[in-house]
Amino acid sequence: MKLRENEINDHNNLLKGSHKVRFDFLSKLIPESESIISKLINFQIAIPSWALGSGGTRFGRFPGGGEPRNLEEKIEDVGLLHKLNCSSGAISLHIPWDVPKDYRAIKNLAAEYGLRFDAMNSNTFQDQEEQVESYKFGSLQHVNKAVRKQAIEHNIEVIKHGIELGSKSLTVWLADGSCFPGQLNFRKAFQNTLESLREIYAALPDDWKMFVEYKAYEPNFYSTTVGDWGQSLLFTSKLGPKAYTLVDLGHHLPNANIEQIVSLLLMEGKLGGFHFNDSKYGDDDLTTGSIKPYQLFLIFNELIDGMDERNMNHASGLGWMIDASHNLKDPLEDILQSVEAIMIAYAQALLIDRAALKEAQLSNDVTSAQEILQNAFRTDVRALVAEARFRSGGALSPLKLFREIGVRNQLIKERGSKTIATGL
C-alpha cells in the first residue's frame, strides 16, 4: 500500500501547533539543538526483512494478517515505514528467505522507496528442503568436511546476491555449538569454524565487511562456538581487517555490561555494528528500548565518545540494524517504536556534557558523573526527534498516522488475512 498524496501533511498540520510549543521550549533549553537535529536527520536504521511478519515462541505463532508474501512486499513495508519516520532507509535481507528473482527490478523498487541494502544474512541454522547435508550438528564447525563445504558455499552464494543488490556486508550468525558436555571438542570446533570463515572471507569483495555475530546460548545450551564477544573478536582478529564483531543486544548472559563491550570493540576498531532489540531474560528480541532504555542510552554514550568526529551514520561503515521478532504486536508498529527508541537514545546521548563528564572522571567525582549522565537521560527529547522527522518530510507521530489511516487493515485487504512472511 502507498500513502495518499497529502496524508503526511494533513496529519502534521493537525499536530503542528502542539508540537511547536514543545519544540520551542526544548530548543530554548538546549543550545545545541540544531546540530542534534541534523545528526538525527542523517541517522538511518536498517530494518530486517524477517521482522516484518509476526515471529513466534516455541509454543505458538499468532500472525495478524497482511504480512508481506515476498521480497517485493517486504521492501514495500520498509518503504512505508521510511516514508512515515524518514529514519528507516535500509533493509537487511536474509537468504534463502529473500532470494531475489530479478536483481534489477528489486534494486529499482528499493531505490523508489529510498532504501539501500544493509548487511546480507546467511542461514546455516536450518535445513532447507533441497539441501544435501544436515546442520543438525553444526555448520561451519561440523566434524564432516562436506557439511562445512556446503555451509561455506551457501555464504559465498549470499555474498553474490549481495553484490548484485549493492550491499556491502555479510552477517554470519551461527547456531553452532553443543548441547551436552563431551559432544564437541571445543578447540577443533573453533579451528574448523575459523578455517570455514577464512574461505568465506576470501570471497569477500575488497569493499565488503564480514560481521561475526555472537550469542551466548540457544539453540545449543551447553556450548556455543561463537558464544561471546571474546570468541567473536578472536575470529575477527584472525580473519583480518574486513572482519568485525556484531553486537546483538539480546545475545549476552544476564547483566552483561554491553556498553563496556561496545566501547572496547570500538577502541580496537573491531565493532561491526548492531542488532538492536531489547530483552529481559535472553534473546527475547523485544522492541528496542522497551525494557532497558538506560542501557541503550549508555551504549550511545560510548558510541559518541568513541567515534569522536566520525559521523554516526552509514558512512561510518557500522551496521545500524534492528533484529526483532514480534509475538503480540503489529510488527510494523513495533518497528516504528524501536526506531523511535533508538533515535531518542541517540539524541539523549548527544546532550551529555562531555567536558564536564571528563572533568568529573578525572577528579573521581562519582556523584557528578552520574548526575551528568542522568541529566541527559532524563531529558524528554521526543520533540527534537519529531522535529528532525518533520524537517525530512516524515510524520510528526508515525504511529498515530499508521493507525489513523488503518495501514494494517489495508494490508489485510490487499494481501489477505492468512499470510505468513517467510522468516523466524
Q: Which does 408 bind (CB under 5 to 8 A by kind): ligand AOS, Zn ion, none?
A: none
> Which among 198, 205, 133 is positioned nearest to 172, based on CA atoms?
198
Q: Does 283 bind ligand AOS (CB under 6 A)?
A: yes
Q: Does 272 bind Zn ion (CB under 5 A)?
A: no
Q: Which stretch binds Zn ion (CB under 5 A): 284-292, 308-316, 356-364, 407-415?
A: 284-292
Among 44, 87, 92, 121, binds ligand AOS (CB under 6 A): 121
- How many Å separate Cα 245 from the centre of its chain? 14
Q: Does 94 bind Zn ion (CB under 5 A)?
A: no
Q: Which residues of 95-132 are buried (b: 16+ CB within 10 A; e: fewer)?
A: bbbbebeeeeebbebbeebebbbbbbbbbbeeeeeeee
Cell of 73: 512486499
Strand-pairing partners, residue 48, are 92
Binding track, positions 241-280, relative to ligand AOS; x by CB under 6 A: -------x--------------------------x-----
Would you say 325 or 397 has its CB closer to ligand AOS? 325
Non-local (6+) Cβ contacts of 376 within 8 A are 297, 348, 349, 351, 352, 353
3-state secondary structure of 294: helix
Q: Which stretch binds Zn ion (CB under 5 A): 27-35, 38-46, 155-163, 285-293?
A: 285-293
Q: Which does 94 bind (CB under 5 to 8 A by kind): Zn ion, ligand AOS, none?
A: ligand AOS
Contact positions with Zn ion (CB under 5 A) in 232-271: 248, 250
> Which among 43, 122, 54, 50 is positioned nearest to 91, based on CA atoms?
50
Please give the radius of gyration of the chain, using alpha carbons only, rounded to the nearest integer. Answer: 22
Binding track, positions 291-330, relative to Zn ion; x by CB under 5 A: --------------------------------x-------
Distance, in Å, from the CA atom of 194 to the CA atom of 389, rounded to the nearest integer, reads: 43
Residue nearest to ligand AOS (CB): 173
Among 44, 45, 47, 50, binds ligand AOS (CB under 6 A): 50
Cα dihedral 397, 278, 117, 55, rounded to 10, equals -90
Q: Footprint of ligand AOS on this chain (CB under 6 A)?
A: 50, 94, 121, 173, 213, 215, 248, 275, 283, 323, 424
